Structure 1
Amino acid sequence: MSVNEASRWNPVDYAANAAFVPALGAPVLALLAPQTGERILDIGCGDGVLTERIVATGATVVGVDGSPEMVAAARARGIDAHVVDAQALPFGPEFDAAFSNAALHWMLDKGAVARGVFAALKPGGRYVGEMGGAGNIATLRAGLRQAVGEMGYTPPAGDPQWYPDVADFTDTYAAAGFSDVRAELIERPTPVPAGLAEWFRTFRMGFLDQSGVPPDARDPLAACAAAIAEGGLPRDADGTILADYVRLRFSMRKPD
């Protein structure tokens, strides 16, 4: 299976409108607890903002991502990053730990990812991370689909992400050979300071590609989707829209 065509990114837009993604990765980084001298694989490293924080602990980090543009941004930060499809990881048992934040839901061959991470870890190696879970951004996804249809375009059949529940995720990684697989769903209403239209333009470029939306129609379509979704979402005390994020946080280990 090739890299998900819906996973398309612009590093400039991502830095401007998605800074909350690495910022909210702090609990997962604490769960990883990287140690000086460890060799760690960052799966879906993106522009390397969170990867930098792992490197700062004294660990040696290799980042992989399917987006050449995001890998270039990570390399510009000094990250050892490579364009790699995580559904076909090329590593043997060389890493003490693996880490992933806000990326696995874009990788539709879930079993291939799980087996590749297992192969990349040394015996006893740990794997922690966070991804979109069951129910993630349901209101935003529905609003975008409705807007695409109302404006005369055809969205792809089904959502091009894997947002698992705990049982699906646990079964997938246990089948790959991992032990002590722990996962939990966390509802996390998340402020979107730049507004929903910018969120759609940043996070759903690939979806708009697949829907056949031309560049000159994307701004009005994003505005339409934002207007639809806003009615179903709460706001914080400052009036900022809270997106309906649901995260799946996990940890596991490769048996000795």
Structure 2
Amino acid sequence: MDTSEKADPWSPENYKIHAHFVPKLVKHDLITLLSPRSHERILDLGCGDGMLTRQIQEMCKECIGIDKSQHMIEEAKLNECKDVRVVDCEKLTEWVNNQGFVGYFDSVFSNAALHWMKNQEAVIEGIAKCLKPGGKLVAELGGSGNVQIVEKSLISALDKRGYNGKELSPWYFPSPEDYTQILNKYKFSVNYISHFSRPTELPTTIGGWVETFGFSFLAPLEDNEKEIVKGEVEEMSRDEVFNNETDKWILNYVRLRIVAQFNS
């Protein structure tokens, strides 16, 4: 792994091959909950390759997409997003203050991004900072139980090699109760919250999914050992995740969908 890959492990190419379903599965439902209006300013937090950002930008006065990954922001620009920026969302308050965005946005939107941010309080504090009084957060993230089988398999594969697999996990999958508590702390009232299972057929394999999303587990390993670990995870997961009738991998996605209002 070269230095740039360590600094930014996200690969738009892998994402297109192994994970193009991520924006497609929520495109209508989540944007309907957001209900963008022509006069509104919206922040798309963790915008990735911008497939949803571009759609929101066509519906409102201003939509800024932010993501920690330079690679994904470059891809979003190629996807014709108007205003996308590299921002560490765990340092959102600092960015909001520096850019003059305090109380600026009508809504914050986020899909499949918040569960990558371990310091949730810093993120929610920043969201509160940038919203107008009465503004809303519309988000979907991984909830408790999300990709549990594959995560356990990855942890097991790393543990047996002398690493702390649990510490290598980059994800935070909260329960509805835990997330409501954090939101309430920062003056959000939860108008809607749903914790639901969404079994998801993968376009390729568990190994491809691990390469795209499980890079933090693979980071300490040499290239040949990465391939061995991906194979082990496929074998450990096969009985519960592989559908022999369709010859497809079906991953146990569990989502947490939220609409919350900021009460300053």
Normalising by the residue count of structure 2, what TM-score does the alignment of the two structures yield? 0.88
Q: Does the residue aligned with 2:134 lie in a helix, a strand or coil?
A: strand
User: Residues 101-136 of structure 1, C-alpha deviation per residue, up to 9 Å, x if partnerless?
Assistant: 000011111111111001111111111010000011
Q: 1:7 to 1:228 in 2, by over 3 A?
A: farther
> Per-residue displacement from partner, 1:130-172 (whole Å, max 9, x unpaired)?
000001110011112223345x352444433110001100000
Distance 1:130 1:253 in 2: 15
Deviation, structure 1 residue 8? 3.2
Change (3 A) 1:214 1:38: same
Q: CA RMSD in A?
A: 2.0
How many residue pairs match? The answer is 249
Take 1:57 and 1:69, find their aligned partners in 2: how far apart are those partners?
Answer: 25
Q: Out of 156, 163, 169, which is 1:154 matched to?
A: 163
TM-score (norm 1): 0.90
How far apart are residue 11 of structure 1 and its match? 0.9
Q: Residue 136 in 1 paired to residue 134 in 2?
A: no
In the alignment, which residue of structure 1 is the partner of 2:3?
none
User: Structure 1 residues 183, 165: CA separation in 2 closer, same or farther (over 3 Å shift)?
Assistant: same
SS in 2 for 1:231: helix
Counterpart for residue 170 of structure 1: 180
Equivalent residue number for residue 11 of structure 1: 12
Stretches of structure 1 lacking an aligned partner (at least 5 in a row): none
* Map 1:160-199 → 2, pairs under 5 A: 160-199=170-209
SS of 1:46 mapped into structure 2: coil
The unaligned stretches of length 5 or more in structure 2 are 1-5, 97-101
Query: Partners of 1:203 and 1:122 in 2: how far apart?
Result: 33
The CA distance in 2 between the partners of 1:214 and 1:19, in whole Å, is 27
Report the equivalent of 1:203.
213
Query: CA 1:132 to 1:81, structure 2 compared with 1: closer, same or farther past 3 Å?
Result: same
Which of residues 221, 226, 229 in structure 1 aligns to 2:234? 226
Q: 2:55 aligned with 1:53, yes or no?
A: yes
Rounded to whole Å, the distance in 2 between the matches of 1:179 and 1:7 is: 35
- Could you tell me which of 230, 246, 250 is aligned with 2:258? 250
Cross-structure match for 2:99: none
More helix by proportion, 1 or 2?
2
